[in-house]
């Protein structure tokens, strides 16, 4: 009997439920086509959980995720909760779930789809061949350091601290080297070692770990320079590994190379196979409920889940192939359509992808 995988589903806010519904359709289709079996359990998270349970990350949702083999997440947040105090913000739930599930590594591929090159603001000849992955450290650094306010001679003062220890750098570095090994064997470690002590420790540690990966070519790039090189020579990057805050910023920049944030998937991983999978885009409150969101990022996140958590490589490839076929045939949701009048809605796009899976 096929082993049944438990999937914790967190639809979240805004367009989250709409894009997750299409991803589930795709998973159901692969159950038939590839003999896979999934058991879906749904939990509240983010703004909707604040409204219904008074907290962005309810205990039963966290427990559901801890028991699952993988988590599929839509998106969280929206203007309704933007002025809430910190404990009652969807973002706090997101940081909390990453920490509680030990998801220290965030993988964000930025792949330029040939047929969508015209959607980018960069020249096609600069983009040619761009296929990179940002590996972002996700549970350390300034995001999780001590934060407080105090009085100072200049009035109220705010403090955010950034801390990294060797173990935290080592595990993310190893993961990035491992990923690079499966690709073009090039790793760019991004830091600010000319200024920051955490970056100096980062660089020393990455250099030490690199001894175990002599087959991977390592370069160190300062973060400001990296921001520039991403626009100048994006195709020369393969895997980029960096700390939490730099990774937040650079992964958004990398996403824009592709011109279509609606297409980009992500995985958050810890030590084992367990992972949380979500589109890179947010909850898009402006189009929520209209049924026009692009489901491709969430569908491609399922392909990542199949590869990285379950090792279902054939089914992952089938999903990616189906997405390419549908795009190559010219089908578009409005975010990526040149002629908006011909754009498909969310479920029509999902149906076409499902139909293209064989
Ligand atoms: C992301 C988001 C989050 C982050 C926010 C919403 C807390 O920007 O996943 O990149 O900064 O990590
Ligand atoms: Mn971000």
pLDDT digits (tens, 9 = 90+) for 67-107: 999 999 999 999 999 999 999 999 999 999 999 999 999 99
Please identify, by atom number, the ligand 1 atom nearest to the C-alpha of residue 244.
12
Length of the chain: 358
1-103+266-358 and 121-257: identical CATH topology: yes
What was the pLDDT predicted at 250?
Answer: 97
Cα of 334 to ligand 2 centre, how many Å? 23
The terminus-to-terminus CA distance of the chain in angstroms comes to: 22
List of the chain residues with pLDDT < 70:
1
Cα of 248 to ligand 2 centre, how many Å? 5
> What is 245-306 written as a DSSP string?
HHHHHHHHHHHHHTT-GGG-EEEEE-SSS-EEEEESS---GGGTTTT----HHHHHHHHHHI
Q: Is 248 in the pocket of ligand 1 (CB under 6 A)?
A: yes
- For helices 296-305 and 346-356, angle between their N-to-C axes, nearest 10 degrees: 40
What was the pLDDT predicted at 169?
Answer: 98
What was the pLDDT predicted at 1?
Answer: 52
Q: Name which residue sits closest to atom 4 of ligand 1, judged by CA.
A: 248
What was the pLDDT predicted at 259?
Answer: 78
Q: Is 94 in the pocket of ligand 1 (CB under 6 A)?
A: yes
- What does DSSP say about strands 105-111 and 155-160: parallel, antiparallel, or unpaired? unpaired
Cα of 56 to ligand 1 centre, how many Å? 15
Q: Where are the domains of the chain?
A: 1-103+266-358, 121-257
Q: Which ligand is nearest to the CA of 91?
A: 1
CATH (residue range 121-257): 3.40.718.10
What was the pLDDT predicted at 194?
Answer: 98
Q: Name which residue sits closest to atom 12 of ligand 1, judged by CA.
A: 248
pTM recorded for the entire structure: 0.94
Is 23 within 8 Å of 294 (Cβ atoms)? no
Could you read off the pLDDT of 240-252 as tens digits, one per residue? 999 999 999 999 9
Q: Residues with catalytic annotation? A: 143, 192, 224, 248, 252
Q: Which of 14, 46, 76, 91 to mutate to test the pocket of ligand 1 (most atoms within 8 A of CB)?
A: 91
Nearest Cα residue to 336 out of 16, 115, 123, 130: 115
Distance, CA of 41 to CA of 339 (rounded, Å): 38
Please identify, by atom number, the ligand 1 atom nearest to the C-alpha of residue 77.
6
Is 14 within 8 Å of 284 (Cβ atoms)? yes
Distance, CA of 274 to CA of 270 (rounded, Å): 7
Please identify, by atom number, the ligand 1 atom nearest to the C-alpha of residue 98.
12
Query: 1-103+266-358 belongs to which CATH class?
Result: alpha beta
What was the pLDDT predicted at 175?
Answer: 96
Is 73 within 8 Å of 92 (Cβ atoms)? no
Q: Is 91 in the pocket of ligand 1 (CB under 6 A)?
A: yes
């Amino acid at each position: 009997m096929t082993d049944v995988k438990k999937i914790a589903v967190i639809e979240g806010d805004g367009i989250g439920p709409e894009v997750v519904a299409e991803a589930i359709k795709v998973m159901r289709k692969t159950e038939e086509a590839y003999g896979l079996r999934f058991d879906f359990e749904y939990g509240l998270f983010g703004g909707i959980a604040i409204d219904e349970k008074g907290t962005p990350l309810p205990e039963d949702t966290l427990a559901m995720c801890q028991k699952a083999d993988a988590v599929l997440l839509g998106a969280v947040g929206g203007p309704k909760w933007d002025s809430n105090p910190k404990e009652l913000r969807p973002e706090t739930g997101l940081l909390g779930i990453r920490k509680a599930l030990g998801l220290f590594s965030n993988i964000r591929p930025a792949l330029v789809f040939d047929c969508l090159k015209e959607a980018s603001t960069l020249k096609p000849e600069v983009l040619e061949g761009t296929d990179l992955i940002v590996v972002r450290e996700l549970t350390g650094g300034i995001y999780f350091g001590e934060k407080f306010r105090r009085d100072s001679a200049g009035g109220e003062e705010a403090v955010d601290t950034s801390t990294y220890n060797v173990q935290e750098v080592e595990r993310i570095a190893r993961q990035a080297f491992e990923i690079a090994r499966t690709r073009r064997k090039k790793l760019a470690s991004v830091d600010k070692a000319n200024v920051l002590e955490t970056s100096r420790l980062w660089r020393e540690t990455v250099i030490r770990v690199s001894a175990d990966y002599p087959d991977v070519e390592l370069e160190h790039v300062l973060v400001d320079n990296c921001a520039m090189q991403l626009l100048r020579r994006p195709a020369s990057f393969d895997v980029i590994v960096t700390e939490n805050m730099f990774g937040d910023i650079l992964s958004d920049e990398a996403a824009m190379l592709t011109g279509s944030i609606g297409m980009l998937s992500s995985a958050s991983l810890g030590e084992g196979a367990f992972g949380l999978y979500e589109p890179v885009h947010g909850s898009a409150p402006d189009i929520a409920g209209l049924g026009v969101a692009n489901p491709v990022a969430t569908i491609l996140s399922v392909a990542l889940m199949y590869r990285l958590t379950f090792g279902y490589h054939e089914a992952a490839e089938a999903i990616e192939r189906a997405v390419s076929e549908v795009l190559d045939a010219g089908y578009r949701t409005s975010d990526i359509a040149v002629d908006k009048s011909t754009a498909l809605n969310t479920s029509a796009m999902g149906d076409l992808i499902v139909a293209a899976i064989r």
